[in-house]
Amino acid sequence: MTEKQKKIINHYRGKLNITTKGELFVLRHILKRDWDRDIILLNIDMIQYNHPTCLNLVLVKCSTRNSSYTFSVPHLGGTGWITNNIKQQKTYISNQLYDKIDT
Q: What is the pLDDT of residues 75-97, one digit of tens each?
A: 998 878 888 899 999 999 999 99
Q: Is 71 left (phi over 0), alpha (psi -120 to 50) or beta?
A: beta
Q: What is the pLDDT of residues 36-63, one digit of tens each?
A: 999 999 999 999 999 998 888 999 999 9
Q: Is 47 left (phi over 0), alpha (psi -120 to 50) or beta?
A: beta
Max CA-CA distance within the chain?
Answer: 37
Give the residue-averaged pLDDT of 94-102: 93
Please tell me the predicted confidence (pLDDT) of residue 103.
65
Please tell me the predicted confidence (pLDDT) of residue 64.
94
